[in-house]
Structure 1
Amino acid sequence: MAATSSVPRLHTARLLLREWRESDLAPWAAMNADPEVRRHLGGPLTREESDASVARFRAAFAARGYGWWAVEEQAGGAFLGFAGFDLVEEGSLPFHGVEVGWRLARHAWGHGYATEAGRACLDFGFTTLGLTEILALTTAANTRSRAVMERLGMVRDPADDYTDPTVPEGPLRAGVCYRIRA
């Protein structure tokens, strides 16, 4: 998997959001095999599922000009996880638009990386992509991600709470939507 020049790079004080590399596949798979990292996402992924997700991320960038970046710590080059955008297509949920998100390895939790990456993504979305509104979605129980959304200035309207039809019955099915406008 070679680096693709079509993927813009975002730099923050501590992070680099960049294209996916072959060397990211193993740490990404380890992250996706961690039940705690995947607690609000339906459980661990196999190596094959994890690798396939990276192929989808790269295809999204090629097709739309945005997607999920690999997140790396600038100081030492450590792979930390991902951050970026996905499309919430019309008809899939009660609302549609572009969603911002993040997922970090456990060793990266509690350092403000998700907020820092999220800010960089929002800036890119509003200034480069010209978006007027950006969504953030998570399960109602995911208090850590919800706290990041609130630190980013995103606001939840309980009228946007939803039941995710793609998730089996259970606590992960109840979702919340946060929004921020340019």
Structure 2
Amino acid sequence: MHPGPRPIQLETPRLIVRPWQTSDSDPFAALNADVRVMRYFPAPFDRAASDAMIDRCSAHIAAHGFGFWAVERKQDGAFIGMVGLNIPGAPLPFAPCVEIGWRLAAEYWGRGYASEAARAALRAGFEVFGLNEIVSFTALLNQPSQAVMERLGMRRCAQTFDHPNVPDGHPLKAHCVYRLTRADWTAVRQDTRGGAADIRIR
């Protein structure tokens, strides 16, 4: 069960995964306007759409105890992106479900931050919120995100689907699905060294 209205904060060796702050708005807007970051989404976000996403993420956290959290680098307090757990609103063929997702600013790619933060979110999902399964999905063309999913120990399903929020005929409409069960997570944790999350509830 989740810890109710108290905010949850996750710590890894290099990162803090936390609720959103007002100061996150500017760097998150820059991230969402970057065509490199949004390459596998239908279009970049303008400022209004970016701010609205923060509002939705914060509301989801307030309602469920978890959501897409902000990610901060410990060494300098820099906002580097978001990671977390979400109940999708789109009518997906495998709903109801809880997904894990991430989005990092391009200057922080290639350092293992996405995997490190995502492992913390997975641990929270299974050990704090009592989830039995977590899924992740992305466009078939998005090989970088699929590589992260595989590093997390998630298994790709044979099932593919057309995302209902992507326009028909768009090259990003076709998506794949990855899954991780609680049992698989336990096995992955036993085989993993380093990057463990210290989950703190304040």
TM-score range, shorter chain: over 0.9
Q: Aligned equivalents of 2:155 and 2:119: distance in 1?
A: 15
The alignment partner of 2:102 has SS state of strand
Paired amino acid for 1:122:
L
Structure 1 position 6, deviation (Å): 3.0
Q: Does 2:157 match 1:157?
A: yes
In the superposition, relative to structure 1, how do residues 88 and 48 fare at CA in structure 2: closer, same or farther (>3 Å)?
A: closer
Q: Aligned equivalents of 1:85 and 1:12: distance in 2?
A: 17
Aligned partner of 1:36 in structure 2 is 36
Q: Aligned equivalents of 1:39 and 1:6: distance in 2?
A: 35
Structure 1 position 151, deviation (Å): 0.2
Structure 1 position 20, deviation (Å): 0.8
Aligned partner of 1:176 in structure 2 is 176
Structure 1 position 88, deviation (Å): 3.0
Paired amino acid for 2:105:
A
Q: Aligned equivalents of 1:7 and 1:107: distance in 2?
A: 28
1:57-109 per-residue CA deviation (whole Å, 9 max, x = no partner) reads 110011111101100101111110000011135x8111021000100000010
Structure 1 position 118, deviation (Å): 0.8
Q: Aligned equivalents of 1:174 and 1:16: distance in 2?
A: 33
1:124-155 per-residue CA deviation (whole Å, 9 max, x = no partner) reads 00000100110011111111000000000000
Aligned partner of 1:15 in structure 2 is 15
The alignment partner of 2:38 has SS state of coil
The alignment partner of 1:102 has SS state of strand
Q: Aligned equivalents of 1:107 and 1:61: distance in 2?
A: 27
Aligned partner of 1:53 in structure 2 is 53
Aligned partner of 2:166 in structure 1 is 167
Structure 1 position 42, deviation (Å): 1.4
Q: Does 2:117 match 1:117?
A: yes
* Number of positions where the alignment pairs a residue of Structure 1 with one of Structure 2: 176
Structure 1 unaligned spans of 5+: none
Structure 2 unaligned spans of 5+: 183-202
Higher relative contact order (Cα pairs below 8 Å, separated by 6+ residues) = 2
Q: Does 2:133 match 1:145?
A: no
Q: Does 2:145 match 1:134?
A: no
TM-score (norm 2): 0.85
Structure 1 position 119, deviation (Å): 0.5
The alignment partner of 1:29 has SS state of helix
The alignment partner of 1:145 has SS state of helix
Cα RMSD, aligned residues only = 1.2
TM-score (norm 1): 0.94
Aligned partner of 2:106 in structure 1 is 106
Structure 1 position 29, deviation (Å): 0.2
Aligned partner of 1:94 in structure 2 is 93
Q: Aligned equivalents of 2:60 and 2:98: distance in 1?
A: 12
Q: Aligned equivalents of 1:22 and 1:11: distance in 2?
A: 20
